[in-house]
Structure 1
Amino acid sequence: MKRLLLIITIMTVILAGCSGQNNNDPATKGNENVDKQEQVKLTFAVNEQPQLPIEFWEIPVKKFMESHPNVTIEIVSQPSSNISSRDHLKTLLATGKFPDVMVMTSPGDFINSGSLLAFDEADLDYIADTSVGKFEGKNYVVPYKKQVGGVFYNKDMFEEMGLQEPENWEEFIALNEAIKAKGTTPISLGVKDGWPQLITMSLLLSTDLLTDDPDWGKKRNAGEVAFADDNVVKVAEKYKKLTQSFTDESRSSISYTQMIEAFYNEQTAMYIMGSWTQADDIRLEHDFEVGFFPMPNDNDANTIPVWLNEGLAISADTKHPEVAKAFVEFFVTDPEWAAQFLQSEMLFPVTKEEVEYDKSDLRMEIEEKMKGYKQVENFYDMTGDAALLPGLQSFFDKMTVRMATDPNIDVKKELELMDKEWEKANNNLNR
């Protein structure tokens, strides 16, 4: 049944994306900034993923070009699935092929080289909160979605085992112990791809560190705190215990796809991930209900980490900045396309205007629970002046793999190494 719903959803998106426009279509915004006689060509670098193929990104591009007949937009994507959009953009910049508009997740890698265009406040009057993600008071990325992170679990399995959602860290550990005692792997995790494990560490840092000190990232970049401080070491020890004690021993050889499939095949009771995985709940066949709860900290489970780091950016060297801005605004505000885009992964809107779309039961459950949560940024993808310095995300990736797989690892020494990496990155910025 869920596969049928997914097929219907995809067909609805594609057909709607190809439908004609109405007279009030926001795609026409920006026409006043474009000389109708001038032929304009833009390149648009996207983040192609299995759930977001090129055909999906083509929908807004085609619709925008229909209302701007003198504009041509060429889509550029990663050459292979094992290259991230961030690394692809670095290559394009180095080879003189930096796109006019791009999906951006790590602006800090590009701002200091002067590669991105800064938006004026007036450019972003459609965004609900423009204070998020500012670098030295300026916006370089227009967010197009909000995502949340937490623990997804098998409600039927919990009920059979007499388990409840935990309300603090102690209860969460006891929950894992109880599931393990029943002969089931508590948490589905695979580190083969080098990134799923960082979600767990990042959520722990968000709920333990940023709940009490939301400015911790800014303080680190100002040299006022360190990664090897006791409160961060404590979180790393939690991460090591969680990943090494309650996940499959073969986690090193398990891919992201395999870890998700293990959960939906009922080989595990939980997995820790961002809300984009709701697409898997629709895509993968299963006959149990999936639930969600936040990553608990020592005192409660009332903090929800959110991602606001991903959006659209514009090259500082684009020959057509006004057209590029018009396309960005259309992408984020067009009601029809915004609904399709958000529905693809059951995302949360970031615009002043609410975006309505058909939501799954899981999506509605998360939305309802969020009303009582404190929202903090996801640690790994902190934005603006709090963002990890260029290069530190790559170190974090490798460090969290080591912490999840090496039983003899000294987490404090690892964090001391990360402080040294920060010093290198900071020195590079200040040259």
Structure 2
Amino acid sequence: MRQKQTLIRLSALLLAATTVLAACGNNNNSANNTSEGTAAPDAAAAGNTPEVKKVSFTIGYASGDPATKQAIADTVKAFMEANPNITVKDLSETSSSAYLDWLKTKDAVGEFPDLVEMRDTQVFADAGKIVELPSDLLELFKDPPQVDGKVWNAPMQVNVPQGIIYSKKAYADAGITELPKTYDEFLQIQEKLKTSGITPLVVGGKDIFHMGFWINKFLIDDVYSKDPDWNSKRTAKTVSFTDPNVVQAMTDYKELFTKYVDKGWLSTADNQTASFLVSGKAAQLYSGTWMFSQIKEADPSFDFGFYAIPDREGKVNVVGLASPAGWSLSAEAAKDADKTAAIEQFIRFFFQKDNYSKYLASINGIPSTKEEITYETSEQMQVALDLITDPNVTKSLAINNWWGDNLIPPQFRNWYYKLMQELVAKDGDVTDYMKQADNEYDNQVKANQM
């Protein structure tokens, strides 16, 4: 049963848990937002209408998730139709490289986007590649995360929890009548699914970002939920990847992948996982709320549920804190007043109520605006909202989403995810692989300090 939810009123608890609820400006075309040319004196005297100056800028964003890519592309198209004097050139990432690597490549060849979806904010802020969010946009946002005391992003949405998306039919066929209350009960469910003849889990391991879903589930359970400052301690060498809590997390990860994940996971792309689920090739997918619309599009009649996996103690820990991410203006584009004005106009258009509600509905997102945003939400999305507002659920971040003293070396995340792929593929010893992680982490820290 679907019900309309007023997402922005998720209580003061949501504000405290996410710290980022941004504001939405109105979609006006005032002189502050539109770049106009200056008519010649004789033309003005003749009563001719001043000619509107043509402006163009480039936009870059991650395209690993098809629903988000389409939602942004639709907003860009609508913006250009509403503002024919502004051309937005789409430079969205289309390679199989990690998004950070793609942005660095674009920068190296002189094609760094004018407006960019920024995820590694501190990396690019420290490099002088982006500027602070324009001051006239700051009033739109409520307590956004700061890096070095500055706001660099217009947050596109609040971080959403990840969890198990499961086929209700597969669960019923396997005799599963209750959702797990502990991680051990979750493993028992995997055994029942396997015994029933269906592959328990599909993983889109071909896309390196997808690996982070499971890896961070275990790191959050055993590390970050208990010590949010673990990264800074690792940089200071007071903790280690070979410590028992990290070894336990990666042992659980390896066991799960070895026993219950589809054998072709290394060659399966993220955008193939929905079809695995709806076709019955696998019973479950661990991912975020953005997958709900993709699953419905693949098969509108497919009946599925969503829940967060508890840890061994029965506690629930999910991604849910705010992080400095969102639309950022490049330092080069900021030198051009007309281009800057056009980009500010796009940002206001993006967060305008009608446009923003469509974007959020497409990805099942949680709004970052002060203005009340409503859209039709599903049973599955309500579970996600409940997780965010539940005071008993610990909110955390993925290994690479921390900042300040907890910022990890920018290249370490992808290296570590690939190492964890190898751990499973080669049936490696977890402790030995964690020693490799320690060595690589220290080497990257040292290299970044030179």
For normalisation by structure 2, the TM-score amounts to 0.80
Once the two structures are TM-superposed, the CA of residue 240 in structure 1 deviates from its matched residue by 0.5
Once the two structures are TM-superposed, the CA of residue 55 in structure 1 deviates from its matched residue by 6.7
Cα deviation 1:354-406 (Å, max 9, x = unaligned): 32112233223332344325352331442322343210122022012113322
Contact 1:145 1:350 in 2 (8 A): yes
State the match for 2:215 in structure 1. Answer: 201
> 329, 336, 340: which one pairs with 1:314?
329
1:44 aligns with 2:59: yes
CA distance, structure 2, for counterparts of residue 189 and residue 67 of structure 1: 40
> 397, 417, 424: which one pairs with 2:443?
424
Once the two structures are TM-superposed, the CA of residue 281 in structure 1 deviates from its matched residue by 2.1
> 353, 372, 379: which one pairs with 2:398?
379
Contact 1:40 1:320 in 2 (8 A): no
CA distance, structure 2, for counterparts of residue 413 and residue 167 of structure 1: 32
State the match for 2:190 in structure 1. Answer: 176
CA distance, structure 1, for counterparts of residue 292 and residue 169 of structure 2: 18
2:246 partner letter: V
Contact 1:217 1:387 in 2 (8 A): yes
Question: Matched residue of 1:261: which SS?
Answer: helix
State the match for 2:411 in structure 1. Answer: 391
Once the two structures are TM-superposed, the CA of residue 145 in structure 1 deviates from its matched residue by 1.4
- Write the mapping of 1:189-268 to structure 2, written as runs, cut at 5 A: 189-268=203-282
State the match for 1:11 in structure 2. Answer: none
2:125 partner letter: I
Once the two structures are TM-superposed, the CA of residue 56 in structure 1 deviates from its matched residue by 4.7
State the match for 1:140 in structure 2. Answer: 152
CA distance, structure 2, for counterparts of residue 285 and residue 263 of structure 1: 10
State the match for 1:150 in structure 2. Answer: 163
Once the two structures are TM-superposed, the CA of residue 174 in structure 1 deviates from its matched residue by 1.9
1:113 aligns with 2:127: yes
CA distance, structure 2, for counterparts of residue 223 and residue 326 of structure 1: 43
- What is the aligned-residue identity percentage? 23
Question: Matched residue of 2:32: which SS?
Answer: helix
Structure 1: segments with no counterpart, 5+ residues: 1-23
CA distance, structure 2, for counterparts of residue 253 and residue 141 of structure 1: 34
1:96 partner letter: G
CA distance, structure 1, for counterparts of residue 299 and residue 388 of structure 2: 27
Cα deviation 1:14-46 (Å, max 9, x = unaligned): xxxxxxxxxx98232774266532654322223
Question: Matched residue of 1:376: which SS?
Answer: strand
State the match for 1:270 in structure 2. Answer: 284
CA distance, structure 2, for counterparts of residue 269 and residue 332 of structure 1: 36
- Write the mapping of 1:271-310 to structure 2, written as runs, cut at 5 A: 271-285=285-299, 287-306=301-320, 308=322, 310=325
State the match for 1:365 in structure 2. Answer: 383
State the match for 2:88 in structure 1. Answer: 73
CA distance, structure 2, for counterparts of residue 366 and residue 81 of structure 1: 30
2:312 partner letter: D
Please say which of residues 92-101 and 380-389 is displaced more in the overlay: 380-389
CA distance, structure 1, for counterparts of residue 299 and residue 204 of structure 2: 20
CA distance, structure 2, for counterparts of residue 234 and residue 59 of structure 1: 44
State the match for 1:339 in structure 2. Answer: 357
Contact 2:56 2:87 in 1 (8 A): yes
CA distance, structure 2, for counterparts of residue 402 and residue 30 of structure 1: 55
CA distance, structure 2, for counterparts of residue 380 and residue 31 of structure 1: 43
Contact 2:57 2:343 in 1 (8 A): no
Contact 2:141 2:369 in 1 (8 A): yes
TM-aligned CA distance change 1:232 to 1:341, over 3 Å = same
1:260 partner letter: A
- Corresponding pairs, count: 404
State the match for 2:50 in structure 1. Answer: none
State the match for 1:412 in structure 2. Answer: 431
CA distance, structure 2, for counterparts of residue 215 and residue 352 of structure 1: 30
Contact 1:279 1:346 in 2 (8 A): yes
| Structure number with higher relative contact order (C-alpha < 8 Å, ≥ 6 residues apart) | 2
Structure 2: segments with no counterpart, 5+ residues: 1-23, 38-52
Once the two structures are TM-superposed, the CA of residue 235 in structure 1 deviates from its matched residue by 0.3
Between Structure 1 and Structure 2, whose CA radius of gyration is higher? Answer: 2
CA distance, structure 2, for counterparts of residue 31 and residue 224 of structure 1: 55
Question: Matched residue of 2:373: which SS?
Answer: coil
State the match for 1:124 in structure 2. Answer: 138
Question: Matched residue of 2:290: which SS?
Answer: helix
